Amino acid sequence: MKIKNIYVSTVALIDWQGKALISLRSEDKVLPNFWEFPGGKIKTNESPDDTIVREIKEELSLDINKKSLTPLSFNTHAYEEFQAVVFFYICRSWNGTPVSKDNQKMLWVEIDKLRNYNFLAGSKKFVLDLNNLKKK
């Protein structure tokens, strides 16, 4: 059986205090009760950065200019049902105040404390990447 690939773009929105926004996946989603960075699946003929702009608008009511996105990393992770190919960005400027349209719990967390949260397996690398970025 061939496992299908799912392509995803996620972003660490980092505020003026150096905290990143994370949210808790709801009970009715695949892989519930894990923490994640905002983002979502890349649609056909959509670039990874266009996905971030669209998803952040849909999920959090924020406006992001593509020029404010910086690609940081990517990762692949094989879950039971699919393989995730995840593009990870950082963004330090946007317009608006984040409001979860799915009523997901959201937190602003200091980057060096992110490792205390139970992230999706495919996103744990990004917590390390953010910590390494902070040390530079």
pLDDT tens figures, 6-51: 999 999 999 999 999 999 988 887 778 899 999 999 999 999 999 9
- What is the domain extent for residue 69? 4-135
Strand order in the sheet with 106-110: 35-36, 19-24, 106-110
Residue position matching structure tokens 């200019």? 65
pLDDT of 1 higher than 80: no
CATH number at residue 121: 3.90.79.10
Q: How far apart are the first and last CA of the chain?
A: 43
Into how many domains does the chain fold?
A: 1
Whats the size of the chain, residue-wise?
Answer: 136
Cα torsion 78, 34, 71, 47 to 10°: value is: 70
For 65-104, how does the pLDDT look when each residue is reduced to its tens digit (9 = 90+)?
999 999 999 999 988 888 999 999 999 999 999 998 878 8
